Amino acid sequence: MTSAEASARPSSEVLGVPPAARTLRDRSFILLLGVLTSIALIVLAVLLIDTAIDGIPQLSISFLTSFPSAFPAKAGIESAITGTLWLMAVVAFVIVPLGVASALYLEEFADGTRWWNRTIEVNIQNLAAVPSIVYGILGLAYIVRGPLSLGRTVLAGGLTLALVVLPVVIITGREALRAVPPSIKEGALALGATRWQAIWRQILPASIPGIATGVILSISRAIGETAPLILVGAATFVAFNPTGLDSPFTALPLQIFSWISQPNDEFRMLAAAAIIVLLVILVILNAVAIRLRNRYQQRW
């Protein structure tokens, strides 16, 4: 039989007919996955649409540039936005050096067979899962009062939030360092580089996109944290922008929390508007993180 004749035959004759039961099983599984995915998406969509209906009419330049007020029509979130920016600056300033140094130590220098290094590792994994309110208590006891006695300031709030996200920064930093293949380190060492030169000039630069992604995602988590800030005593009614690290402050999630708890419906509308602003900031940060990852990610 020539090949031309062979291709003329119908596929069912050549390969046989697939059993009906298998086709049915495949299709019902795909259907199940579709239903489950849409449940998650529908819940999210309802939340977003509800917030948007309440909040969008409130959004205006004056909302963004006004301070809190007892009169809903005059109230705005300028002090909350600047407070959040101050907090994030403190968080970033603390978590980048601490997180990178810890990740480098654990990944490159710590001897994993020693019990103290294993203890540190297990504890960091656990710390990442500790509820943030516990960090709030810690911040209240040791940073606001206690040894550091910083008071209810921007610095105290930022340090507390940095503690909340530090474990995640360390874990993602270690993953980024581990993603650099050992052959890079070997190549550097074989050229007569010291261990530190190999790490500082090759491994760390190669892992910066991964580390930066982890830092940005951690910051976007810190932006949304409310509980620790309530505990360290951020005010909810601050009619001025923070003037420095020692200044009292409020933050977006706190402002939202405070407005939501008001009995007046108009304040709840304002809360919805503030939620939209917070969501926009989060989406921008996450977009930057994803872009960084895709742009600089190294395929080994």
Partner 1 sequence: MSDDELTPASTLREVSDSDSSSSEPRDEPGLPAVPGEVPAVPAGQPHAPVPVVAHADVIDDAIDNPVFITEKLSVSYGTAPAVLDVSLRVPEKQITAFIGPSGCGKSTIIRCFNRMNDLIPGAHVEGTVRYHGVDLYGSDIDSVQVRKRIGMVFQKPNPFPKSIYDNIAFGPKVLGMKGSMDQIVEEALRRASLWDDVKDRLKDNAFGMSGGQQQRLCIARALATNPDVLLMDEPCSALDPISTGRIEDLMHELKETVSIVIVTHNMQQAARVSDRTAFFIVDMGSSEEARIGRLVEYGPTDRIFTNPHDIRTEEYVSGKFG
Nearer to partner 1, 199 or 238 (CB): 199
- Asked if 186 touches partner 1 (CB under 8 A), the answer is yes
Out of 84, 102, 202, 226, point to the residue binding partner 1 (CB under 8 A). Answer: 202
- Asked if 188 touches partner 1 (CB under 8 A), the answer is yes
DSSP state of 212: H
Residue with tokens 């998406």: 41
CA distances from 65 to 50, 185, 257 (A): 24, 51, 19
| Selection from 31, 109, 80 nearest residue 237 by Cα | 80
Residue 245 has, within 13 A of its CA and on its CB side, a CA count of 10
Considering the complex, what minimum distance in angstroms separates the CB of residue 175 from partner 1? 17
Nearer to partner 1, 71 or 116 (CB): 116
Looking at residue 112, its amino acid is G
Out of 201, 239, 261, 291, point to the residue binding partner 1 (CB under 8 A). Answer: 201
Considering the complex, what minimum distance in angstroms separates the CB of residue 196 from partner 1? 10
Distance CA 230, CA 46 (A): 28
- Asked if 38 touches partner 1 (CB under 8 A), the answer is no
Stretch that binds partner 1, among 36-44, 132-140, 186-194, 284-292 (CB under 8 A): 186-194
Nearer to partner 1, 36 or 191 (CB): 191
x/- mask, partner 1, residues 227-246, rule CB under 8 A, reads --------------------
Distance CA 199, CA 194 (A): 9
Out of 194, 261, 264, 294, point to the residue binding partner 1 (CB under 8 A). Answer: 194
CB–CB of 51/269 below 8 Å?
no
Residues numbered 60 to 99 that lie near partner 1 (CB under 8 A) are none
Distance CA 281, CA 44 (A): 18
CA distances from 239 to 69, 153, 236, 247 (A): 8, 15, 9, 12
Considering the complex, what minimum distance in angstroms separates the CB of residue 107 from partner 1? 14
CB–CB of 64/277 below 8 Å?
yes
Stretch that binds partner 1, among 121-129, 150-158, 188-196, 256-264 (CB under 8 A): 188-196
Out of 44, 131, 187, 261, point to the residue binding partner 1 (CB under 8 A). Answer: 187
- Asked if 226 touches partner 1 (CB under 8 A), the answer is no
- Asked if 298 touches partner 1 (CB under 8 A), the answer is yes
Distance CA 180, CA 109 (A): 15
Out of 28, 65, 69, 183, point to the residue binding partner 1 (CB under 8 A). Answer: 183
- Asked if 213 touches partner 1 (CB under 8 A), the answer is no
Residue 247 phi/psi, 5° resolution? -95, 145
Distance CA 77, CA 83 (A): 10
Q: Which residues bind partner 1 (CB under 8 A)?
A: 113, 181, 183-194, 197, 201-202, 205-206, 298-299
